């Protein structure tokens, strides 16, 4: 048996599900009808984003609900140009995102910036000339 390589669902532990949902809806992302008061599901291209109580998520995973801080994980939204990075970044800030790092040319040859959602989850907005996007907007690493 081998694991089919994909990520089906990313769940973010949040302090307030309603507040987090409002932020992502301001970004233009739509809450699924499968959502409930205690959990929000947002359909993305090929993946679902879940918003669930941080405390409940830790309980479900049988881990300690440790204080917020850098978790060692970032989420990325790739776009097709540097100008696209600037536009998406500016839009996210207008929706309530917290600026972490202004978009700039980066050591690996691309252009990116970071913002945090209201719970501190880091999002990178990036243009990576080495990871082209296909017609559906997905990163393509291999032909």
Q: pTM of the full predicted structure?
A: 0.88
The predicted pLDDT at position 100 comes to: 97
Q: What pLDDT, on the 0 to 100 scale, is given for residue 83?
A: 98
Residue 81 has pLDDT above 70, yes or no: yes
Query: Quick one: pLDDT at residue 31?
Result: 97
Strand (E) or helix (H) holding 55: helix 54-61
Same domain, yes or no: 105 and 48:
no
Same-domain check for residues 43 and 83: no
**What is the tens place of the pLDDT at every residue in 84-107?**
999 999 999 999 999 999 999 999
Q: Is residue 22 part of a domain?
A: yes
pLDDT digits (tens, 9 = 90+) for 56-68: 999 999 999 988 8
Do 58 and 3 lie in one domain? The reply is yes
Contact 2, 29 (CB under 8 A): no
Domain end point (choices 62, 91, 115): 62
The two tokens of residue 26 are: 């301001």
**Residue range(s) defining the domain that contains residue 12:** 1-62
Instruction: Say which CATH number the domain at 83 has.
Output: 3.10.180.10
Out of 23, 39, 62, a domain closes at 62
> Do 54 and 15 contact (CB within 8 A), yes or no?
yes
Q: Do 58 and 80 lie in a common domain?
A: no
Digit-coded pLDDT (tens) for 41-59: 999 988 999 999 999 999 9
């Amino acid at each position: 048996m081998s694991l089919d390589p994909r990520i089906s669902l990313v769940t973010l532990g949040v302090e307030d599900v309603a507040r987090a949902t409002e932020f992502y809806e301001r970004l233009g992302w739509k809450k699924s009808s499968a959502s409930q008061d205690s959990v929000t599901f947002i359909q993305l291209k090929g993946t679902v984003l879940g918003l669930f109580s941080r405390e409940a998520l830790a309980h479900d995973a049988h881990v300690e609900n440790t204080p917020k801080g850098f978790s060692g994980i970032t989420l990325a939204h790739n776009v097709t140009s540097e100008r696209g990075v600037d536009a998406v970044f500016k839009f996210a800030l207008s929706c309530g995102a917290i600026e972490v790092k202004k978009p700039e040319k980066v050591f690996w040859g691309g252009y990116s910036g970071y913002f945090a959602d209201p719970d501190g989850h880091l999002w990178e907005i990036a243009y990576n000339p080495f990871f082209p996007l296909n017609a559906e907007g997905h990163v393509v690493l291999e032909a």
